[in-house]
Amino acid sequence: MLTSGSKGQIQLQSLVTLLFIKYHLDVSSLCSETVRAFRGINSMASYHLSVKIGGKGNAFPHADYISREGKYARGKDSDLEHKESGNMPAWAVHKPSEFWKAADSFELANGCTYREIEIALPRELKPEQRLELVRDFVQQEIGDRHTYQFAIHNPKAAIDGGEQPHAHIMFSERLNDGIDRGPKQYFKRANSKAPELGGAKKARFGETQTERKGYLVAQRERWAGLQNQYLERHQHSERVDARSLKAQGVEREPERHLGAGQVRKFDTDQLQAVIERRDAERQAQHCRDERDSVIDVTTSLREAIFERDKQTENLAQQFEQEAVHDRTFDFEKEPEKLNELVPPHVRVVVASN
Report whether 114 contacts 170 (CB < 8 A).
yes
Which sign, positive or negative, has the C-alpha torsion 214, 217, 219, 222?
negative
Catalytic residue list = 65
Report the distance separating Cα 79 and Cα 82, nearest Å: 9
Quickly list DSSP for 53-105.
Answer: EEETT-HHHHHHHHHT-GGG--STT--EEEEEEES--GGGSS-THHHHHHHHH
Cα distances from 95 to residues 72, 101, 110, 169, in angstroms, run 17, 11, 26, 17
Q: Which residues contact 11 (CB under 8 A, 6 or more apart)?
A: 2, 3
Best CA proximity match to 289, nearest among 279, 281, 298, 277: 281
